[in-house]
Amino acid sequence: MEKQETPINSSPLSEEELEFFEELLHKEQKESRRKVKQFKAKLEEIEEKLNDTNSSSAHHQGNIGSSEEDREKYYALINKEQEKLDEIQMALDRIESGNYGICNVTGKPIQKERLEVKPYAKYSVDAVEKANST
């Protein structure tokens, strides 16, 4: 019979706390996906507007510039949300592997208060402050 590998739980959090944070992460994930969808729809509108403006001989350069800026803004917003989705997935993976809530730098527990604000945090407050002070 093959031995079943179970992750070693080195998380400083209880099962109930892990379930709470997993649920919180799924809510954040759903919200970020909704935002990405919304931003992509807005970007499509801008692209259509730019295509219509570019095909028209009577267009104002200011309108094109504004649309270009809007397009760049939405690309940046999409990129930011995609990065957040990646971080959320990594946090869910850490729950699965049993090391959620542990700082990637110090190896010490991340404060629960920090995880409540940013459940996909990889670093403790101490690690962030230390990195910012150098």
Q: pLDDT at residue 134 above 80?
A: no
CA distance 117 to 79: 21
Taking only the tens place, the pLDDT of each residue in 23-55 is: 999 999 999 999 999 999 999 999 888 777 655
Q: pLDDT at residue 57 above 60?
A: no
Give bridge partners of residue 109 from the DSSP assignment. 102
Domain ranges of the chain: 15-129
User: What amino acid is encoded at 88 in this protein?
Assistant: I
CB 25 within 8 A of CB 91: yes
DSSP letters spanning 51-78? HHHHHSSS--HHHHHHHHHHHHHHHHHH
Q: What is the mean pLDDT of residues 94-104?
A: 95
Q: What is the mean pLDDT of residues 91-106?
A: 95
Q: CATH class for domain 15-129?
A: mainly alpha
Contacts (Cβ under 8 Å, ≥6 apart) of 106 = 124, 126, 127
CB 123 within 8 A of CB 104: yes
pLDDT reported for residue 67: 79
Taking only the tens place, the pLDDT of each residue in 59-93 is: 555 555 577 899 999 999 999 999 999 999 999 99
CA distance 127 to 105: 6
